[in-house]
């Protein structure tokens, strides 16, 4: 992921949930940084692993990793729901189907991996 995109997501998450801000405990030690929390969460989502996997690498405990994941997902949904997580309009669907046909040569293939209707040129038949 490019740095500007990562920072845009981090800023949107921090604006929605103060949990991601770096704080200082009563002893004077700083908590893990905002970037560590977001990096741990994105790695969990990317690699499909548990929070425990990043304990040594990012110094994020398993409990903090789980909390970050849950809060991050809620914050991303709040931040980007209207822009990126909305259902496509009829015009959006037509544009996607046409774009897919131009790029891949398969007409009518939106969200389908079933290619049974396609005539294969070199497909052996019995």
The domain spans of the chain are: 3-84
Percentage of the chain exceeding pLDDT 90: 29
Written as six digits, the tokens of 50 are 């548990």
DSSP letter (8 states) at residue 30:
B
pTM to 2 decimal places: 0.67
Question: pLDDT per residue over 75-117, tens digit each?
Answer: 999 999 988 888 888 998 888 888 888 887 777 666 655 555 5
Please list, residue by residue across 70-98, b when 16 or more beta carbons sit within 10 angstroms of its beta carbon and e when fewer do.
Answer: ebbeebbeebeeeeeeeeeeeeeeeeebe
């Amino acid at each position: 992921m490019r740095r500007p995109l990562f920072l845009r997501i981090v800023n949107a998450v921090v604006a929605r949930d103060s949990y991601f801000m770096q704080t200082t405990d009563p002893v004077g030690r700083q908590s893990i940084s905002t970037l560590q929390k977001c990096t741990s969460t994105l790695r969990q989502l990317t690699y499909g692993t548990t929070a425990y996997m990043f304990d040594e690498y990012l110094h994020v405990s398993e409990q903090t990793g789980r909390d970050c994941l849950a809060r991050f997902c809620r914050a991303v949904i709040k931040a980007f729901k209207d822009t990126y997580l909305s259902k496509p309009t009829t015009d959006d669907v037509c544009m996607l189907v046409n774009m897919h046909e131009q790029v891949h040569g398969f007409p009518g293939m939106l969200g389908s991996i079933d290619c049974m209707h396609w005539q294969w040129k070199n497909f052996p038949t019995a």
